[in-house]
Amino acid sequence: MSSLQEIKLPPRLYAIAKAILKFGAATAAEIARLIGKREQDIMRDLAELERRNLIKVSRRTYFKIELSELGRKYLINLLPEEAVLKELASRGSLSFSALKDLGLSENEIEAAIGILKTLGAIKVSRGHIYLVENAGQKTADYIQKVREELQKYSTSVILAEVPDSSREVRRRGLISVREHREVIAEASELLMSHSDRLVEGEIVTVITPEIIKLESWDSIEFKPFDLSVELPRASIVRKHFFTDVLNYMRELMLSLGFEEVKGPHVELELWNFDALFVSQHHPARRSTDVYFVDREVGKVTGIESVLEAVGRFHREFRGYIWDPNIALRLVLRTHCTSVSVRTLWERGPGEYRVFTIDRVFRPDTPDPTHLMEFHQLDGIIVGKKVSFKDLLQFFREFARGMGLGEVRFKPAYFPFTEPSVEGYVKHPKLGWIEVLPGGMFRKQVLEPLGLRGYNVAAWGIGVDRIAMILLDVNDIRDLYTDDIREIEKTAIPRVALGAGSLS
Amino acid sequence: MPVVSVRLWDVARLAGTQVELEALSTVLSNLKLEVEKVEADSLVYEAPHDRLDLYSAEGLTRAISYQLGIKKPVKYAVSKSSLYVDSSRAPSYRPHVLMTIVRDVKLDDEAISQIFQLQEKLHISHCGDRELVSIGLYDLDKLSFPVYYREVTSVVFRPLGYSRVMNITEILSETDKGREYRHLVKEGLYPLLVDSEDVVLSLPPIINSEDTRVTDKTKNVLIDVTGTEPTLMASILAVVTMAVYERGAKSIEVVPVVGGTAIEDLVFNMLTGRKISVKAGRVSELIGVEPDFREALRNLEKYGYIIESIEEDRAIVWVPPYRVDVIDEDDVIEDIAISLDYNRITGILEPPTHRGTPHLLETVSRYARDILIGLGFTEVVNFILTDPDYLAALRYTKFISIKNPKMRVYSALRPSLLPGVLRSLSKNVRRYGLQDLKVFEIGDTVDPGTLATFKAVSGAVYGPSTTLTDGLTAVRTFLETLGFKPQFKGVNGLELIIDERSAAVEVSGEFIGIVGEIHPKYLKYLELEAPVAVFEISISKLVELLVRSLRT
């Protein structure tokens, strides 16, 4: 800042600097009064101006001394010790009771006698006071000094320090001493030499490249932001919340040691039903319950042996003439258990855990609780020692991971599992709802697939319902929305953020 | 699952004691019954598909009585009847008949309506709507044995519920049942059950005769099943017979079949009950806990079983005839597990022997999503099922259709994600009056050639100055971020896309997708006012390339 340049100050600093210039020096209180602020509000501004060498700030302590009420009385009247001396001078001695007739208060009498005794001007004997010879000068000096002091402070006096000479009158409560502190701002040479080059700066709402480039941040004032104003949301590009929830489930399965597998959506009835020991006459295979694909399957090779074995088990244990042509019809898979069964057939015996999360299809008209296309999480735990207990424990673990809390189990029926179970969890609004169906695959399922001496815990969880709970969505169709505003505003489920690990 | 309705007073009558509904909740749960509603004196519940015996009040009461300890399971007196049925001239397309006789029952309207309900539920749930098995009940005292099951060309009788006699043509065209089930009989080859004095029992599987009808005066009941599946027929007949038996009978007779295939032993064996060996080792292996074997077996009485003999590590269990759902020892073990209460079966989930691994398609998809979000595309999801008319409007000619759609708009399987992405784009642009928008979808498509599922990613860029460049740069960045080096080659003949503004995407010389500018004709159709660049890349193909590169 060269001496010939302008000094640009933000509006408040500018006003303060102007005020100081006007007086040369001023206290903070005076400046504040002048610009309509409170003293404490401008202290930071003064510090800022001082930092910029525009003012000098000093702090001062002073004392204001004036006569007390008593002091003012003795200025006009006799001091009590004077009154006592005067009476003694005429009477020689005085009884204590006679002292009271002098019009003095008890405090004054006590003070007068104390002082006179200390000065050696009187003696006390047998209830009487006697004047002491040759002690007059010392007492007169004392009284004169007190009188001088009273005279000195007859109008209030401001002093940097309290003089020693005032000690006696102060002790006697004849004067009052009050301490004051003040901040004084004094224009610096720089300010005075630039008094006509002061320029008022601006209030800024947006930082401009200029401010940064010219380093002019000291000469601006930021407009205070009104936080009470309703804010719009920033626009955001999001992943779809439903895919996120499905991925959260996927992660949970991975953490439990499961390997992810996949299978086709267009499926042979063999894998969707027959291999699951579902009778070809079971109502679940009717056209009201299954979408049939308008296409004949071409030549299928490699499944002859499983077809034969599955057919044999149906004939033997379900007792009807099983038709391989039905098993070779094409449907849209009604559950992902078809993927579990395919996996068993491909991998055979062993110790493994697999799962799949994918779409399944059932003839339905969309409404808040139904869709013709939805998701299932199917899985199997395969091994020699795998038991129904493991299945129940898996459900408990899964529910915990999903933040669904306690699971209650009830017996259930599925054509392909024995024992079979349905797990219920408590829905915040609907009460206990069934979300965890499963069981142990029947021997009639496992043996045609080549598994003997192995147990397989299996389940097929309808995950849309769980996603609805997690996302607080009441209409299943909303999970499949392509409305970008809905996608933008749906919050990540608490459970996915980690609440699941606490429950 | 069949929904069954019973009267509580009927249940009380059958149980011989009042049954409090409140006491039943665990019992009904153990029997896998789901109460639908309780109204005045009726209980409506959903029965599990395999518990045929619970489709009527008789079986329900029997099961409840055992559960509550009101009764203990007993074996039944089953004998072969001296009467017989002759099936020597049975129709070849419906060759089998089986019959039982249950004597000394007490019937009233409620009992008859329960048996009728059972019959109807069984026809639908297990009898292929009468195609495999059809059930008939008759008043034994209204007919004379032997009874004949034979094929006839014509007959005249009074069908059940009608006051006049009709010939077969009339029955098939004028009665409800005739119209409903006439597809199950062959013209001129009608199955008929008729007695030795030409009194008609029924025209199975269509309708019974009024003349042999079961009424509240009926004391002795003849039950028949005809059909094509002997084992299934035997099971169905056993269930119906055991239900009728509960109406006060003391014994059951199985009617021998002569002339045709003598299959009456199937039902005879069923009715005398089967024996299953249950091993203690299998109990603990399957359930995963080790209950006291003897105690566990004792509990089985509550499920209708009778313990024939117990050894240290195994027992022989008698399975009652109506439990046709029991196939092997695991079915019995399930009842043991239920009696233990599933909620008390606890322990630890055995630790995994392998680490968990995601499917490569999902791993790549997750990165793909991240990259596209980074490129400013919002993710949408659409259904695999889509509208064939919409596909056709966008000139998609090859896709898989559903034979039995419920709604036409969901009757085709998307062969590509592009139509869905374009529709989502158009919907959002119009709904919110947007000047520009980028959306993408990752999902499965069904290849109309191989019927296989392919995972793909498709995106669309909309805006007043959008050109092919926007699609190409997005795809380039996308693929390079995934570590693939794309090459773009001109391509023709994509109907939706302008020939001069389209490119095939190749990686390592293999075709993995397309990029292009939508032809204005289709922008118009989609009600869009600015250009759109699109791309679709096969994630399945990328994974294939990835696996190949990881292996070499």
Angle among Cα B152, B155, B156 to the nearest 5 degrees reads: 170
pLDDT (0 to 100) of residue B86: 95
Which pLDDT tens digit goes with each residue over A220-233?
888 888 888 888 88
Q: Give the mean pLDDT of B85-108.
A: 96
Give me the residues of A, 206-245, that contact B with CB < 8 A: 237-240, 242-243
Cβ contact B231–A442 (<8 Å): no
- Structure confidence at residue B210 as a pLDDT band (50, 70, 90): very high
Q: Do B495 and B394 lie in a common domain?
A: yes
Say if B478 falls within a structural domain: yes
Q: Do B428 and B511 lie in a common domain?
A: yes
Does the pLDDT value for residue A241 go beyond 70?
A: yes
**Of B291, B312, B341, at which residue does a domain stop?**
B341
Q: Do B393 and B538 lie in a common domain?
A: yes
A382 Cβ under 8 Å from any chain B Cβ: no
Say if B347 falls within a structural domain: no
Which two tokens mark B72? 């203990």
Q: How many domains does chain B have?
A: 4
In this structure, are residues A268 and A332 in contact, taking their beta carbons and an 8 Å threshold? no
Residue in B closest to A478 by C-alpha? B381
Percent of residues in chain A assigned helix, strand, coil, to nearest 5: 40, 25, 35
Cβ contact A264–B354 (<8 Å): no
Report DSSP letters for B69-122, one per residue.
Answer: TSS------EEE-S--EEEEE--TTS-EEEEEEE-S----HHHHHHHHHHHHHH
Report the b/e string of B191-226 with b at 16+ CB within 10 A: bbbbbeeebbbbbbbbbbbbbbbbeeebebbbbbbb
- Residue B132 is part of which domain span? 78-271
Which of A377, A418, A425, A476 would you mutate first to test chain B, the one with the most B CBs within 10 A? A418
Which pLDDT tens digit goes with each residue over A38-80?
888 898 899 989 998 999 999 989 999 999 998 999 988 889 8
Which two tokens mark A161? 């320090």
Question: Which residue, among A456, A454, A474, has the nearest Cα to A464 in the 3D structure?
Answer: A474
Scanning A60-207, the segments in alpha helix (DSSP H) are 69-76, 80-91, 96-99, 106-119, 136-152, 167-171, 189-193
Q: Do B140 and B54 lie in a common domain?
A: no
Which two tokens mark B26? 């665990």
Neighboring chain B residues of A364 at a CB cutoff of 8 Å: 406
CA B333 to chain centroid, in Å, comes to: 24
Say if B179 falls within a structural domain: yes
Question: How many distinct helices (H) and strands (E) make up chain A?
Answer: 20, 20
Q: Which residue do the tokens 């869905």 mark?
A: B420
Q: Do B187 and B133 lie in a common domain?
A: yes
Cβ contact B349–A390 (<8 Å): yes
Say if B323 falls within a structural domain: yes
Residue in A closest to B402 by C-alpha? A293
CATH number at residue B223: 3.50.40.10
Q: Do B197 and B333 lie in a common domain?
A: no
Q: Assign A282 to helix, strand or coil.
A: coil
Element (H, E) at A487: helix A484-489
Q: Do B480 and B425 lie in a common domain?
A: yes
CATH number at residue B368: 3.30.930.10
Angle between helices B57-68 and B230-245 in degrees, nearest 10:
70
Percent of residues in chain B assigned helix, strand, coil, to nearest 5: 35, 30, 35
Which two tokens mark B246? 């509960």
Cβ contact B350–A421 (<8 Å): no
What own/partner pairs with CB < 8 Å and gap ≥ 24 does A304-307 have? A306/A270, A306/A275, A306/A345, A306/A448, A306/A449, A307/A270
Distance from CA of A368 to the nearest CA of B (A): 16
Q: Do B125 and B222 lie in a common domain?
A: yes
- As a whole number, the mean pLDDT across chain B is 95
**Of B271, B304, B328, at which residue does a domain stop?**
B271
pLDDT: is A82 or A416 the higher one?
A416
Neighboring chain A residues of B48 at a CB cutoff of 8 Å: 412-413
Cβ contact A397–B384 (<8 Å): no
Say if B354 falls within a structural domain: no
pLDDT: is A359 or A2 the higher one?
A359
pLDDT (0 to 100) of residue A1: 46
CA dihedral B261, B262, B267, B268 (to 10 degrees): -170
Q: Do B393 and B528 lie in a common domain?
A: yes
Give me the residues of B, 51-90, that contact A with CB < 8 A: 51
- Structure confidence at residue A23 as a pLDDT band (50, 70, 90): confident
CA B279 to chain centroid, in Å, comes to: 31
Question: Which residue, among A317, A363, A354, A311, has the nearest Cα to A336 in the 3D structure?
Answer: A354
pLDDT (0 to 100) of residue B227: 94
Which pLDDT tens digit goes with each residue over B45-82?
999 999 999 999 999 999 999 999 999 999 999 999 99
Does the pLDDT value for residue A2 go beyond 70?
A: no
**Contacts with B552 (C-beta within 8 Å, 6 or more apart), sequence order:** none
pLDDT (0 to 100) of residue A502: 56
Neighboring chain A residues of B383 at a CB cutoff of 8 Å: 372-373, 480
pLDDT: is A299 or A482 the higher one?
A482
Question: Which residue, among A307, A327, A304, A62, has the nearest Cα to A181 in the 3D structure?
Answer: A62
Which pLDDT tens digit goes with each residue over B212-261?
999 999 999 999 999 998 999 999 999 999 999 999 999 999 999 998 77
A136 Cβ under 8 Å from any chain B Cβ: no
Say if B248 falls within a structural domain: yes
Say if B302 falls within a structural domain: yes
Cβ contact A421–B342 (<8 Å): yes
Scanning B175-317, the segments in alpha helix (DSSP H) are 176-181, 230-245, 264-272, 280-287, 293-299
B3 Cβ under 8 Å from any chain A Cβ: no
Cβ contact B353–A352 (<8 Å): yes
pLDDT (0 to 100) of residue B173: 95
Report the b/e string of A175-212 with b at 16+ CB within 10 A: beeeeeeebbbbbbeebeebeeebeebeebeeeeeeee
- Structure confidence at residue B417 as a pLDDT band (50, 70, 90): very high
A351 Cβ under 8 Å from any chain B Cβ: yes
Neighboring chain A residues of B32 at a CB cutoff of 8 Å: 410-413
Q: Which residue do the tokens 């080790």 mark?
A: B290
One-letter amino acid for residue A272 of the chain: N
pLDDT above 70: percentage of residues in chain A: 98
- Structure confidence at residue B353 as a pLDDT band (50, 70, 90): confident
Q: Do B320 and B370 lie in a common domain?
A: no
Q: Is the peptide bond before A324 cis (omega within 30 degrees of 0)?
A: no
Say if B403 falls within a structural domain: yes
Q: Do B429 and B304 lie in a common domain?
A: no
A287 Cβ under 8 Å from any chain B Cβ: yes
- Structure confidence at residue A500 as a pLDDT band (50, 70, 90): low
Which pLDDT tens digit goes with each residue over A178-190?
998 889 999 999 9
A159 Cβ under 8 Å from any chain B Cβ: no
Which two tokens mark B523? 């922008």
One-letter amino acid for residue A193 of the chain: S
**Which residue from A321, A385, A396 is facing B350, i.e. has the nearest CB?**
A385
- The length of chain B is 552
**Of B271, B306, B324, at which residue does a domain stop?**
B271
Which two tokens mark B82? 């001296």
Distance from CA of A410 to the nearest CA of B (A): 7
Cβ contact B352–A319 (<8 Å): no
Distance from CA of B535 to the nearest CA of A (A): 18
Which pLDDT tens digit goes with each residue over A102-153?
788 888 888 888 888 888 888 888 888 888 877 778 888 999 999 999 999 9
Question: Which residue, among B484, B482, B538, B489, has the nearest Cα to B507 in the 3D structure?
Answer: B484
A349 Cβ under 8 Å from any chain B Cβ: no
Task: Give the range with max mean pLDDT: A163-172, A280-289, B516-525.
Answer: B516-525
- As a whole number, the mean pLDDT across chain A is 91
- Number of inter-chain CB pairs under 8 A, A vs B: 249
Cα separation, A293 vs A284, whole angstroms? 16
Residue in A closest to B128 by C-alpha? A281
Residue B489, φ and ψ in degrees, nearest 5: -130, 145
Distance from CA of A345 to the nearest CA of B (A): 19
Cβ contact A261–B400 (<8 Å): no
Element (H, E) at A211: helix A209-213
Q: Do B254 and B111 lie in a common domain?
A: yes
**Which residue from B345, B403, B439 is facing A388, i.e. has the nearest CB?**
B345
Which pLDDT tens digit goes with each residue over B462-475?
999 999 999 999 99
Alpha carbon distance, N-terminus to C-terminus of chain B: 53
Report DSSP letters for B107-163, one per residue.
Answer: --HHHHHHHHHHHHHHHHHTSTTTTSEEEEEEEGGGS-SSEEEEEES--EE-BTT-S
CATH number at residue B320: 3.30.56.10
Element (H, E) at A14: helix A11-23
Domains detected in chain A = 9-61+179-222 (1.10.10.10), 69-173 (1.10.10), 241-263+335-501 (3.30.930.10)
B439 Cβ under 8 Å from any chain A Cβ: yes
- Structure confidence at residue A245 as a pLDDT band (50, 70, 90): very high
